[in-house]
């Protein structure tokens, strides 16, 4: 479908909404998406909407129900893209991993559920449960990348898992987005050779989806991908780990082409062998960060970076270990493990009224991106109205 036809169809959607009494929607040449991460199917929240020990599927279903309501919300009448406008169509949605919790021991002989079980729940709730529409009037589609728990389930971990390996989440994501001529199965999937790297263009913005973090393999793929992209085209990256990543996520010096080493406690999730210390996972990963910064300096049209893993809503600039770069970075909350809203909070319970996802509106003409925190459980009941929290507007014009 051509861009002109897309714009025409979007204009029809806007006209229909306006005729039904809605306020003006954003320009149809804009881009809008919703963003969330770290669903962690398999674990429980200590409390949610008056109940205790609440299963992840209950919480995630409640989140998706609120995501489905975002199109009818009105944007804050403050600074940012299209203040006071109806949200309207959503081009796409993004989930950046930890779909399944790692299936490790809980206590005694009880383990968290398998990745296969978690994927089935995620598919039912997210992929089949979304009712948003894009500017074509078609169902809004999810874009996915795996997280560290998903990868550990696929390859193993420093602690015992049950089953020992279950690559279901990786297999499903790989087949959906890499589209191999022969789909992989749990039996044929090899994480060392089958990473998830893909990109999509929407209204002049190049969106990139990277497996876990921009490690050496990802940067090699991305350099080739960007070679066909104009230097004046804004590039936005989605991945699981924050720009500094975590040292333990890198590969052990003892891992080989055929086996994984767990004795040094590295998790072998990223292709780069950890260079800062061969044995200490707590050592700062300065070599790896500087490699990423060098890549970003060489590709200045990479203007924004979205990630999960840290489990909180934050909008900041990554400056690198030497404070010689500035990359607009957006971290999103987790429905299950939010550092403010969930079980990672200091009191072990968290403030569930702070549960949030992110709505991002890009004015492609002005090349301005506004990220808005969407508080979806402020009154802690099923009928909780959506409210907007913090927001940030940045330029995405390549320097």
Q: Which residues pair with 316 in a beta bridge?
A: 329
User: Are the beta carbons of 48 and 353 closer than 8 angstroms?
Assistant: no
Mark 287-318 as b/e (b = at least 16 C-beta within 10 Å).
Answer: ebbebbbebbeebebbbbbbbbbbbbbbbeeb
Q: What's the CATH number for 3-395?
A: 3.60.21.10
Query: What pLDDT does 81 receive?
Result: 87
pLDDT by residue for the chain (399 residues), tens digit each?
433 444 444 444 443 333 333 334 556 789 999 999 999 999 999 999 999 999 999 999 999 999 999 999 999 988 888 899 999 999 999 999 999 999 999 999 999 999 999 999 999 999 999 999 999 899 999 999 999 999 999 999 999 999 999 999 999 999 999 999 999 999 999 999 999 999 999 999 999 999 999 999 999 999 999 999 999 999 999 999 999 999 999 999 999 999 999 999 999 999 999 999 999 999 999 999 999 999 999 999 999 999 999 899 999 999 999 999 999 999 999 999 999 998 766 666 789 999 999 999 999 999 999 999 999 999 999 988 999 999 999 999 998
Does residue 237 contact residue 304 with C-beta atoms inside 8 Å? yes
pLDDT of residue 307: 98
Q: Do 115 and 153 meet the contact criterion of CB atoms below 8 Å apart?
A: yes
Q: How far apart are CA 39 and CA 307, in angstroms?
A: 13
pTM, full prediction: 0.93
Q: Which of 338, 327, 394 is nearest to 366 (CA)?
A: 394
């Amino acid at each position: 479908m051509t861009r002109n036809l897309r714009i025409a169809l979007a204009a029809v959607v806007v006209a229909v909404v306006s005729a039904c009494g809605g306020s003006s929607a954003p320009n149809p040449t804009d881009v809008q998406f919703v963003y969330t991460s770290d669903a962690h199917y398999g674990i429980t929240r200590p409390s949610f909407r008056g109940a205790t020990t609440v299963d992840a599927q209950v919480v995630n279903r409640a989140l998706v129900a609120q995501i489905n309501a975002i199109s009818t919300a009105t944007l804050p009448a403050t600074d940012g893209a299209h203040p006071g406008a109806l949200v309207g169509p959503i081009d796409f949605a993004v989930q950046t991993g930890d779909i399944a919790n790692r299936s490790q021991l809980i206590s005694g002989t009880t383990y968290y559920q398998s990745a296969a079980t978690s994927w089935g729940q995620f598919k039912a709730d997210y992929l089949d449960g979304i009712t948003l529409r894009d500017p074509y009037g078609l169902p809004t589609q999810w874009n996915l990348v795996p997280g560290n728990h998903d990868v550990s389930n696929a390859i193993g971990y420093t602690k015992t898992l049950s089953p020992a390996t279950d690559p279901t989440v990786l297999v499903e994501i790989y087949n959906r987005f890499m589209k191999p001529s022969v789909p992989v199965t749990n039996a044929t999937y090899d994480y060392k050779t089958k990473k998830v790297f893909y990109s999509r263009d929407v209204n002049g913005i190049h969106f990139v989806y990277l497996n876990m973090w921009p490690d050496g393999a990802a940067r090699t793929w991305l350099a080739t991908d960007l070679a066909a992209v104009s230097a004046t085209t804004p590039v936005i990256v989605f991945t699981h780990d924050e720009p500094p990543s975590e040292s333990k996520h890198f590969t052990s010096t003892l891992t080989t082409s055929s086996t994984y080493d767990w004795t040094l406690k590295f998790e072998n999730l990223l292709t780069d062998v950890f260079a800062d210390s061969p044995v200490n996972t707590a050592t700062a990963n300065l070599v790896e960060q500087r490699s990423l910064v060098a890549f970003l300096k060489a590709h200045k049209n990479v203007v924004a970076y979205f990630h999960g893993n840290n489990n909180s809503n934050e909008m900041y600039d990554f400056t690198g270990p030497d404070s010689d770069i500035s990359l607009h970075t957006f971290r999103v909350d987790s429905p299950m493990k939010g550092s403010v809203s969930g079980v990672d909070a200091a009191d072990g319970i968290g403030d569930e009224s702070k549960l949030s996802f992110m709505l991002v509106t890009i004015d492609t003409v002005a090349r301005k991106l506004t990220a808005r925190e969407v508080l979806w459980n402020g009154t802690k009941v099923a009928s909780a109205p959506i409210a907007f929290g913090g927001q940030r507007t940045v330029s995405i014009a390549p320097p």
